[in-house]
């Protein structure tokens, strides 16, 4: 098929690589524009942009798809379909209807659960045991279109958002290729009105750990926000990120109290042992390694 590919981050790369390897013709790649990154704030192409250039694919980076000229260019690619994977821009009606089979979205959750911006993080933060990938026909709503195919996946114990991201990106490839192969006969299934949840964008405020919550809820938050943007606690005014932990026995009348010298923390119910931390301007490291040079003693209370 003749395809337009629309995606920006690492999540989208396996799908783009998959359609190329399957012999589909990618006539255009759309992604977010290069933006300042790193210490030097040098304008840096997105992961999909870099991949496309390495494979000699034409790249388009419009700031918006709402103007007539951009829409006209999009339409004149004469593509059979557009594949959308974490693109990051709203698609107006003119774009949604510009190709023969419309815009097919790779969504990393089982719709209608976790429509929206951060489905992978919200899945783990909520303690879900199952997730998956849905290939969806995009419409004017927020992840409300008909489902063409989906694949369910049991979440392994202890997986964080970054690891689940990589698993779902791989799962999406054969599913997408099957949809493209069967596009003329695959049934379109309307999403259920039951079980709708919205995966709102992660805010900085909610990354701060509230030690009054039960230990399992805190653990889910830590795993759901790892490796980025990461949950954190405050100690002597310093924000220390946490990217891994485990549930342990222990309790205290004071939420956030250290139960030993190894970062075992009392929660509203139960306790957690912090395993991996990152101080400001430092690299992530095992908690015990940090404590050798930056001790936090039993009886102290984390904010």
For the domain that residue 287 is a member of, what is the CATH number? 3.10.25.10
Residues 194 and 237 in one domain: no
Residues 186 and 239 in one domain: no
Residues 144 and 285 in one domain: no
**Number of domains composing the chain:** 2
Q: Which of 198, 223, 254 is the last residue of a domain?
A: 198
- pLDDT score for 250: 94
Residues 219 and 112 in one domain: no
Neighbours of 267 (CB within 10 A): 25
- pLDDT score for 278: 98
For residue 127, being part of any structural domain is answered with yes
Residues 210 and 275 in one domain: yes
Residues 33 and 173 in one domain: yes
Residues in the chain: 303
Residues 185 and 210 in one domain: no
- pLDDT score for 300: 96
- pLDDT score for 39: 73
Residues 181 and 256 in one domain: no
Helices (H), 242-297: 287-293
Q: Which of 198, 217, 248 is the last residue of a domain?
A: 198
Residues 188 and 227 in one domain: no
Residues 138 and 58 in one domain: yes
For residue 46, being part of any structural domain is answered with yes
- pLDDT score for 8: 96
DSSP classification of residue 214: B
The tens place of each residue's pLDDT in the chain, 303 residues long, gives 999 999 999 999 999 999 999 999 999 999 999 988 877 788 899 999 999 999 999 999 999 999 999 999 999 999 999 999 999 999 999 999 999 999 999 999 999 999 999 999 999 999 999 999 999 999 999 999 999 999 999 999 999 999 999 999 999 999 999 999 999 999 999 999 999 999 999 999 999 999 999 999 999 999 999 999 999 999 999 999 999 999 999 999 999 999 999 999 999 999 999 999 999 999 999 999 999 999 999 999 999
Residues 43 and 157 in one domain: yes
Residues 278 and 155 in one domain: no
- pLDDT score for 189: 96
The CATH number of the domain holding residue 141 is 3.40.50.170
- pLDDT score for 42: 84
Range of the domain at 104: 2-198
Residues 6+ apart with CB under 8 A from 108: 11, 119, 120, 131, 133, 165, 168, 169, 172
């Amino acid at each position: 098929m003749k395809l337009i590919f629309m995606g920006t981050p690492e999540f989208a790369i396996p799908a783009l690589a998959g359609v190329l390897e399957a012999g589909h013709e990618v006539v255009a790649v759309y992604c977010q524009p290069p933006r300042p990154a790193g210490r030097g704030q040098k304008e840096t192409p997105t992961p999909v942009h870099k991949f496309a250039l390495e494979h000699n694919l034409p790249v388009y980076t419009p700031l918006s798809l709402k103007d007539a000229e951009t829409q006209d260019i999009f339409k004149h690619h004469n593509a059979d379909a557009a594949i959308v994977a974490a693109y990051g821009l709203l698609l107006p009606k003119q774009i949604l209807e510009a190709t023969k089979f419309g815009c097919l979205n790779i969504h990393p959750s089982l719709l209608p659960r976790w429509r929206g911006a951060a489905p992978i993080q919200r899945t783990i933060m909520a303690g879900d045991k199952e997730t998956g990938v849905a290939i969806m026909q995009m419409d004017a709503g927020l992840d409300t279109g008909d489902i063409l195919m989906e694949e369910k996946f049991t979440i392994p114990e202890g997986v964080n958002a970054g690891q689940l991201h990589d698993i779902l990106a791989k799962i999406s490839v054969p599913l997408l290729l099957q949809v493209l192969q069967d596009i003329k006969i695959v049934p379109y299934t309307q999403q259920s009105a039951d079980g709708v949840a919205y995966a709102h964008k992660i805010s900085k405020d909610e990354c701060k750990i509230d030690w009054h919550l039960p230990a399992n809820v805190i653990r889910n938050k830590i795993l759901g926000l790892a490796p980025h943007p990461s949950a954190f606690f405050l100690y002597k005014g310093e924000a220390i990120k946490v990217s891994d932990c485990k549930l342990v026995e222990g309790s205290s009348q004071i939420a956030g109290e250290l139960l030993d010298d190894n970062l075992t923390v009392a929660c509203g119910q139960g306790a957690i042992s912090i395993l991996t931390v990152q101080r400001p301007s430092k690299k992530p490291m095992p908690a015990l390694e940090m404590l050798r040079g930056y001790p936090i003693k039993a009886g102290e209370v984390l904010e």
